[in-house]
């Protein structure tokens, strides 16, 4: 396991970093002031005030960032036909992350003793995958398959998630910081649950806050599966009965809202989550819960959920595929056809694919990686996932506190569940799933290190 250590910049690097941050901030300010309305300018002033606060109190910015992951509005339009990204869509947390990030860079530059970044086992796989994305997209732009601006913003999204991880691991020094951030993470989930519960009487599929008419139930489903892994894992390791009951309560709310997303991909991810949790914890309560769910589930599921599951195997009038004697619904058929068409197209560009956003929209992240970055990119992505799993396993073995073990377990379980979710969604680029996921990765990696430091 690669050791975790902090690298310190020289004085010249520190000054260069600070000047770069100031230059970037100046460019952003000039563009926004010229092209924006008075309301946006006012919001910008508030953002700058926040940046000043984050310079002195970085943890405040991290708490606000966690809240904004699910509770921030979007600016712009999302179009699924374009892969959810042909139009540039900004969210409040994008701006918040930029401001917090610039504050962090300035703080690192002015306090050289803090170090520039923490060296973790995940750093190299992250940069390798980003490098492959850049090379594949550059080649795609040269051949005319990629629109550079669109591709750039997609790659920036990947970088944004990894930047959250780097910021967090550089900030955490005490266990009480981890505890407070976990509370904020769960509080955000609870608010999202309440919002979802209020949508159920309308009879529509439940979506996350601020998603508008084009909301994605599958996105909320993936998030809820991940947060159920967090709350359930922490509950299993908690040595305080009241806290364990509270966490099980959050898990139960998550499951209720999850059912009404009517997301079949999320249902499969939930099953994967439960099985992985059972394997990792070996707690009898999980086994009992799993068996009871299998026995009584078909009888207590809401009718709308039953119909959604049965719909997968119901013969439709429109174009569909048949597997053996089973007729698949159009949605499932389209996904399978997407794999068939994609693999045929991959033969033309097997090594580096078509570049990020160079191929048409596909509803599976694994196929998306193959088409965007080819076999080389797929291997780099697989290497990143393996590095994450190894880091989670190392933290599980090294942690001694209930919090550390709970976080490590939840991260491993979440990773397994999201890999299943990614079979039917572009999970590892979805903002509302990946921001909390990489935040959880940072908490998991740092938990045993902070334990040893504070021992």
Q: How confident is the model at residue 243 (pLDDT cuts 50, 70, 90)?
A: very high
| Residue at token pair 């796989």 | 125
* pLDDT higher than 90, residue 295: no
Mean model confidence pLDDT for the chain: 81
Provide the whole-model pTM: 0.85
pLDDT (tens digit per residue) in 205-229: 899 887 766 678 999 999 999 999 9
Mean predicted confidence (pLDDT) in 342-350: 92
**pLDDT at position 10 over 60:** no
Task: Sort strands 117-119 and 326-327 into parallel, antiparallel or unpaired.
Answer: unpaired
Residue 24 reports pLDDT greater than 80: no
For residue 415, what pLDDT band results from cuts at 50, 70 and 90?
very high
**3-class secondary structure for the chain?**
CCCCEEECCCHHHHHHHHHHHHHHHHHHHHHHHHHCCHHHHHHHHHHHHHHHHHHHCHHHHHHHHHHHHHHCCEECCCCHHHCCCCCCCEEHHHHHHHHHHHHHHHHHHHCHHHCCEEECCCHHHHHHHHHHHHHHHHHHHHCCCCCHHHHHHHHHHHHHHHHHHHHHHHHCCCHHHHHHHHHHHHHHHHHHHHHHHHHHHHCCCCCCCCCHHHCCHHHHHHHHHHHHHHHHHHHHHCCCHHHHHHHHHHHHHHHHHHHCCCCHHHHHHHHHHHHHHHHHHCCHHHHHHHHHHHHHHHHHCCHHHHHHHHHCCCCCCCCCCEECCEECCHHHHHHHHHHHHHHHHHCCCCCCCCCCCCCCCCCCHHHHHHHHHHHHHHHHHHHHHHHHHHHHHHHHHHCCCHHHHHHHHHHHHHHHHHHHHCCCCCHHHCHHHHHHHHHHHHHHHHHHHHHHHHC
Give the residue with greater pLDDT, 47 vs 69: 69
Residue 288 in 3-state DSSP? helix
Question: In this model, does residue 28 exceed pLDDT 60?
Answer: no
> What does the pLDDT look like over 59-79, one tens digit per residue?
888 898 899 899 887 665 544
326 confidence band (pLDDT: 50, 70, 90):
low
Report pLDDT for 443: 97
pLDDT at 233: 94
Name the most confidently modeled range: 151-160, 282-291, 426-435.
426-435
Cα 342 to Cα 13, 202, 361: the distances in Å are: 45, 38, 10
């Amino acid at each position: 396991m690669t050791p975790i250590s902090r690298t310190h910049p020289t004085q010249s690097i520190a000054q260069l970093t600070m000047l770069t941050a100031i230059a970037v901030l100046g460019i952003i300010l000039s563009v926004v002031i010229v092209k924006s309305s008075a309301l946006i300018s006012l919001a910008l002033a508030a953002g700058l005030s926040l940046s000043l606060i984050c310079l002195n109190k970085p943890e405040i910015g991290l708490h606000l960032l966690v809240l904004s992951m699910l509770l921030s509005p979007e600016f712009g339009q999302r179009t699924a036909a374009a892969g959810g990204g042909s139009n540039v869509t900004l969210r409040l947390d994008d701006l918040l992350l930029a401001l917090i990030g610039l504050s962090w860079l300035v703080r690192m530059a002015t306090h050289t003793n803090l170090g520039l970044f923490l060296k973790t086992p995940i750093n190299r796989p992250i940069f390798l995958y980003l490098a492959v994305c850049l090379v594949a997209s550059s080649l795609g732009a040269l051949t005319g398959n990629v629109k550079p601006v669109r591709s750039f913003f997609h790659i920036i999204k990947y970088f944004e998630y990894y930047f959250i991880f780097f910021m967090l691991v550089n900030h955490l020094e005490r266990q009480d910081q981890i505890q407070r951030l976990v509370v904020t993470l769960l509080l955000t989930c609870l608010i999202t649950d309440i919002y979802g519960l209020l949508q159920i009487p309308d009879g529509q599929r439940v979506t996350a806050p601020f998603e508008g008419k084009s909301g994605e139930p599958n996105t909320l489903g993936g998030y809820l599966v991940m947060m159920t892994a967090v709350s359930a894992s922490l509950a299993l390791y908690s040595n305080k009965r009241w806290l364990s009951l509270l966490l099980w309560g959050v898990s139960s709310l998550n499951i209720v809202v999850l059912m009404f997303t009517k997301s079949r991909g999320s249902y499969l991810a939930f099953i994967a989550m439960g099985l992985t949790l059972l394997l990792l914890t070996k707690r009898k309560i999980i086994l009992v819960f799993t068996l009871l769910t299998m026995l009584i589930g078909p009888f207590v599921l809401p009718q709308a959920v039953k119909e959604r599951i049965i719909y997968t195997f119901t013969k439709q009038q429109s174009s569909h595929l048949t597997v053996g004697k089973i007729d698949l619904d159009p949605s499932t058929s389209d996904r399978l056809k997407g794999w068939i068409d994609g693999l045929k197209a991959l033969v033309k560009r097997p090594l580096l694919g078509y570049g990020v956003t160079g191929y048409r929209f596909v509803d599976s992240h694994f196929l998306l990686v193959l088409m965007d970055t080819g076999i080389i990119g797929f291997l780099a992505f697989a290497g990143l996932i393996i590095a994450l799993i190894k880091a989670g396993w190392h933290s599980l073995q090294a942690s001694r506190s209930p919090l550390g073990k709970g976080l490590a377990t939840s991260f491993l379980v979440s990773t397994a569940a999201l890999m299943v979710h990614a079979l039917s969604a572009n999970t590892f680029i979805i903002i509302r799933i990946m921001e909390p996921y990489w935040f959880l990765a940072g908490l998991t990696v740092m938990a045993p290190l902070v334990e040893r430091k504070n021992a």
